[in-house]
Amino acid sequence: MGTDIHGSIECRWDRWPDEDDRCWQKAIDLAHLYNGRSYTAFGSLFGVRDTTSFRPLADRRGLPPDVSRDASAAIEPWNPGAFGASWITWAELLAADWDEPANEVDECVHEYRRSPDGVWEIYGRNSNLNRFAQLSGLTDPHALYRAGNAHPEGTEWPDGDRLFRIGRLRRSHSVPDSDWGAVWSIMRTLSNLHGAEGVRLVVWFEG
């Protein structure tokens, strides 16, 4: 059984000093922006599933005491199966070191492709495995999917305009814009009105 993430983006209006106006309110459900199962991302952000690759940015903090009423009500149907609740502000995400390398070599082989300015940029993990099998000579599916355990860090297989390499992920690779870009875009936009500390992502997990 896999693990799914649930949650919402919340914002707090601090324009007026009245306490009622400063309460947190749900802006959008996370399911509208992200519905994947990237355990590397879950671990890098919240310390769920993959707990070894990166130090979590917001390790199982629980629901914030001032969580919005909508988010509080949304988690009720998942109890008692919900776990790993946490939250993180846009300010914390901005302050994170997204170039931080992983603690260990990735099991998956990384495919790189050249950017328009000629720099190798990561394209995927365990992508184009048929071609990688031809280059590496790996035939056992288990070894192929975990080539990082079979070859030293830094091993490369050039292939024309692309390159396969064994190495470590950067934190930005664990939470790629291709998956999480919509989440970051909404939080960034809301921060223009509410400030970076006034926008947060509240999550919990199931499964």
Residue type, 180: W
The token duo for 34 is: 């992200």
pTM for this entry? 0.89
pLDDT tens sequence across 137-190: 999 999 999 999 999 999 999 999 999 999 999 999 999 999 999 999 999 999
Host H or E run for residue 134: helix 129-136
- The residue behind tokens 């130090």 is 55
The rounded Cα 177 to chain-centroid distance in angstroms is: 9
